[in-house]
Amino acid sequence: MNDYQTARHALGARLRELRSDAGMSGRSLADRLGWPPSKVSKLENGRQTASGDDLRAWAAACAAPGAAGELIAQRRAMETHYASWRRQLAAGTRARQRAFGQDETASARIRVFESACVPGLLQTPEYARHMLRRTVELHRAPGGDVEEGVRARIRRQEVLSEPHRRVEVLMWEPALRMLICPEEVMAGQLDRIAGMVGMRSVDIAVVPARARLRVVPSHGFWIFDDRMVVVETIGAELRLDDPEAVVPYRAVFEALSAAAVREAAAHRLLARIRGDLLRPDRP
C-alpha cells in the first residue's frame, strides 16, 4: 500500500469513527444522506475519495458539523501524494518499474503525454538503460540493479498488445530531439517509434514544435482511466486522485491530441528528426 492509499484509509477510518459515535449503521447513514450503501462502504474502506461536499454532509448527518473542517483538511493533505524519487528508488529500479506497472495493468485506458523524453512504454532497452542510469546518478540511489530495471521496464510494454486496453501516447517534438543518450541510441529509438506508429493497439502521435497550441505543454503526465493522474517532477512523483484535479489534465491532453500528427504525417516528422540527428554538419 502506498502513502496515498494509506492516507485514504486513514480518512475512511475517521469517517467510520464519526458514524459509530453517532450510533448509526452504514445503511442508516446512507439513507439519511440519500446515498447508495455501497458509497458509505467505499469511503470508509478507502476505496473511494470523498469530495468536500461528501465530507460536510457526512459530518452534518453524524451531528458533528464541527468535524467538517478537520475532514476537509485531511482530504486536502492527501489530494496530492508526493513521493520523492530517492525514497522510491531505495528498493532499486526494478521495484520501481514493477510498482508503476501495477498502475498500468489496473487501467483500461492509459493516456500519456511526454514533453522531455520518450515514455517508458515505447523505450528501447538501450534508451531505457541511459534513462535509468541518469536517474540513479541524480538521486544518488542504489544502482546495482539497473539491468533488472531495464528488463522490468521492457516487460511493462506487454500492456500495449492487450486487446482490452487502450493506450494513447503523445510526445512533444522536442522530446524526440533531446540528446540524453548517444546519437546512435536515439536513432534506434526513433526507428522503434516509427515502427510502432499505426499499430492498432496503441495510438502514437507527435505534437510538432511549430504547432499552434491552445494549451501550454508544461510537463509530462500520465492519466490512468479517469481516476488518477501521475506527474513526474525532477524531485518526486505526484499522484492526483481527486476527480476535480484530473479534469484539467484531460482537457490538456485533448487539446494536445488535436494538434498532434499521426500515421503518414508522424512518419514524415520522425524521418525529419532522424535526418537532423545524423546530419554530418550537425554541431
Domain-by-domain residue ranges, the chain? Answer: 3-78, 92-277
Q: What is the pLDDT of residue 226?
A: 92
- The per-residue pLDDT for range 27-80, each reduced to its tens digit, is 999 999 999 999 999 999 999 889 899 999 999 999 999 999 999 888 877 766
**pLDDT score at 124:** 98
How much of the chain, in percent, has pLDDT values that exceed 90? 78
Residues 218-259 have pLDDT tens digits of 999 999 999 999 999 999 898 888 788 899 999 999 999 999
pLDDT value for 146: 96
For the chain, the average pLDDT equals: 93
Could you give the CA distance from residue 172 to residue 116 in angstroms, rounded to a whole number?
7
Tell me if 227 sits within 8 A of 69, measured CB to CB: no
pLDDT of 250: 97
Q: Which of 39, 70, 37 is nearest to 56 (CA)?
A: 70
Is pLDDT above 60 for 2?
no
Residue 229 DSSP SS3 = strand
CATH number of the structural domain 92-277: 3.30.870
Look at residue 76 in the predicted model and tell me its pLDDT.
76
Domain 3-78: give its CATH code.
1.10.260.40
Give Dmax over CA atoms of the chain in angstroms. Answer: 78
The three cell numbers of residue 138 are 541524480
**What integer pLDDT is reported at residue 243 of this predicted model?**
82
Residue among 36, 78, 75 at smallest CA distance from 55: 75
* Phi (first) and psi of residue 230, to 5 degrees: -115, 125
Region 183-191: mean pLDDT is: 97
Task: Estimate to the nearest angstrom the gap between the alpha carbon of 220 and the chain centroid.
Answer: 9
Same CATH topology for 3-78 and 92-277: the answer is: no
**How confident is the model at residue 209, as a pLDDT?**
96
